[in-house]
Amino acid sequence: MGVNEVSSNSTGKIFKVTTFGSSHGTALGAVIDGCPAGLELTREDIQKELDKRRPGTSKITTSRDEKDQVEILSGIFEGKTDGTPIAAIVRNKDQISKNYDNLINKPRPGHGDLCWYEKYINYDYRGGGRGSGRVTIGHVIGGAVAKKLLERYSITTTAHVTQIYNVKAEKRYTLDKIKENITKNNVRCADLEAARKMEEEILKAKEDGDSLGGIVEVIIDNLPIGLGQPVFDKIDGSLAKVMMNIGAVKGVEVGLGFDCVTLKGSQMNDEFYMDDDKIQSRTNNAGGVLGGMTNSMPLVLRIAVKPTPSISGIQNTINLESGCDDTIDITGRHDPCICPRVTTVAESACNMVIADYMIRAGFIHPDNINK
């Protein structure tokens, strides 16, 4: 028996993004409400972000050949937002639904299938339906609009892979160097030697019909001081929520995160100093957040991404029709590691949150969008 509960598909309070669509449906997309009028925005602004997350771009991604060409349906007139809802879609072109026929009544280990079956009864099992990673197309559409808005205030969001399986990026770089290096490899890792080893591990797992997880770090720069609220609406709390709402993310940490337990207060605290007339801190162990509010230092968070649950080979499961133990052999096309493509989704999700907070705090106002 299903649970009588309406599904939530929106995020944000003023800058609000609602996503829709499923892996093998007609199309996926997003509706963005609350974006001020007068923002210069083109199809290409959204397309270049979608191109970074689309499948089939390298040998370490799924072979599903989707071009993910965006169509803008509303909200833009003569190259600028007009203050009405921005609606955009991407049509599915290369779905092969028959690959999932053997999954009927057999929930895949590591997926949300069983929960979807029990909660909604009428479950689209093709590629995971609404629970597929493909629904993050909506995140990227919303995030692309938010990114364009934040660019006017020199706010940048950069996500990069710092670990795949047991291979870690050892070298540390400036933010500018990170932005440069992640464009030079398929893994989107700033440490180019580590990126080579990461790709080798991903291809090895792919050959074995297995998958790998990893860690993605996100750096949000040039934020004003004071974004966020001190109790139930902390900026890091909202960012953690939107990160955990990305499929396959199993953990979030801000600043030093769990490593802070190995330090004393005298080591953890970020001491302040004056640089001309600007307040700075000598370290950024807090990750740019104090008391639930931004402190003008770069906001740094990391997410733990689990291995892609769709793997080759026989796995044990149950048959919901017979009520007996059963086995499952998953076919179809899947990423051996989703971390490289998650980077764009993570950037987009963070940008949506930051844009919403900037508008709510008055840093972005309809009257000054064109100034």
Predicted local confidence at residue 332, as pLDDT: 66
User: 119: closest CA among 131, 137, 102, 101?
Assistant: 131
> Quick check: is 3 in a domain?
no
Task: Work out the number of other CB atoms within 10 angstroms of the CB of residue 316.
Answer: 9
Q: What mean pLDDT value characterizes the chain?
A: 91
Asked if 216 contacts 159 with a C-beta cutoff of 8 angstroms, the reply is: yes
Asked if 18 contacts 82 with a C-beta cutoff of 8 angstroms, the reply is: no
Predicted local confidence at residue 61, as pLDDT: 74
pLDDT band of residue 316 (cuts 50, 70, 90) is very high
pLDDT band of residue 64 (cuts 50, 70, 90) is low
Report the Cα–Cα distance between both ends of the chain, in Å, rounded: 55
Predicted local confidence at residue 5, as pLDDT: 65
Question: Does residue 311 surpass a pLDDT of 80?
Answer: yes
> Quick check: is 27 in a domain?
yes
Residue with the two structure tokens 């895949």? 108
Question: Does residue 87 surpass a pLDDT of 60?
Answer: yes
> Quick check: is 67 in a domain?
yes
Ranking 115-124, 160-169, 352-361 by mean pLDDT, the lowest is 115-124
Mean predicted confidence (pLDDT) in 142-156: 97
Question: Does residue 112 surpass a pLDDT of 60?
Answer: yes
pTM for the structure as a whole: 0.93
Predicted local confidence at residue 284, as pLDDT: 97
Predicted local confidence at residue 104, as pLDDT: 84
Q: Label residue 43 left, alpha or beta by phi (over 0 means left) and psi (-120 to 50 means alpha).
A: alpha
Structural tokens at position 94:
């290369």
> Quick check: is 35 in a domain?
yes
Structural tokens at position 62:
């799924």
Number of domains in the chain: 1
Asked if 220 contacts 179 with a C-beta cutoff of 8 angstroms, the reply is: no
Predicted local confidence at residue 259, as pLDDT: 96
CA 343 remoteness from chain centre: 6
362's CB contacts (< 8 A; 6+ apart) are none
CA 229 remoteness from chain centre: 23
> Quick check: is 302 in a domain?
yes
pLDDT band of residue 370 (cuts 50, 70, 90) is low
Ranking 21-25, 38-42, 53-57 by mean pLDDT, the lowest is 53-57
pLDDT digits (tens, 9 = 90+) for 213-263: 999 999 999 999 999 999 999 999 999 999 999 999 999 999 999 999 999
Predicted local confidence at residue 366, as pLDDT: 73
pLDDT digits (tens, 9 = 90+) for 113-137: 888 888 888 878 777 778 888 899 9
Predicted local confidence at residue 235, as pLDDT: 98
Ranking 3-7, 199-203, 308-312, 357-361 by mean pLDDT, the lowest is 3-7
Question: Does residue 1 surpass a pLDDT of 60?
Answer: no
pLDDT band of residue 2 (cuts 50, 70, 90) is low
Q: What's the alpha-carbon Rg for the chain, to the nearest Å? A: 21
In whole angstroms, what is the distance from residue 248 CA to residue 258 CA?
Answer: 20
Domain range for 315 is 10-368
Phi first, then psi, for residue 290 (nearest 5°) are: -130, 130
Query: What does the DSSP assignment read for 223-282?
Result: PPTT-S-SSTT-HHHHHHHHHHTSTTEEEEEETTGGGGGGS-HHHHS--EEEETTEEEES
In whole angstroms, what is the distance from residue 106 CA to residue 97 CA?
Answer: 16
Residue with the two structure tokens 């992640």? 182
> Quick check: is 352 in a domain?
yes
pLDDT band of residue 204 (cuts 50, 70, 90) is very high
Structural tokens at position 18:
């609602």
Question: Does residue 4 surpass a pLDDT of 70?
Answer: no
Number of H helices, E strands in the chain: 8, 18
Predicted local confidence at residue 97, as pLDDT: 66
pLDDT band of residue 88 (cuts 50, 70, 90) is very high
User: 350: closest CA among 215, 188, 157, 160?
Assistant: 157
DSSP state for residue 184 in the 8-state scheme: G
Phi first, then psi, for residue 278 (nearest 5°) are: -110, 135
Give every strand in the sheet of 167-168, ordered side by side.
Answer: 167-168, 156-164, 214-221, 299-305, 249-254
Predicted local confidence at residue 82, as pLDDT: 95
In whole angstroms, what is the distance from residue 345 CA to residue 66 CA?
Answer: 17
Question: What is the domain-level CATH number for residue 21?
Answer: 3.60.150.10
Predicted local confidence at residue 174, as pLDDT: 96
195's CB contacts (< 8 A; 6+ apart) are 161, 169, 184, 185, 186, 187, 189
Question: Does residue 78 surpass a pLDDT of 80?
Answer: yes
Burial of 152 (0-12, 13-18, 19+ CB in 10 A): middle
Asked if 214 contacts 164 with a C-beta cutoff of 8 angstroms, the reply is: yes
Residue with the two structure tokens 């050892």? 170
> Quick check: is 280 in a domain?
yes
> Quick check: is 5 in a domain?
no
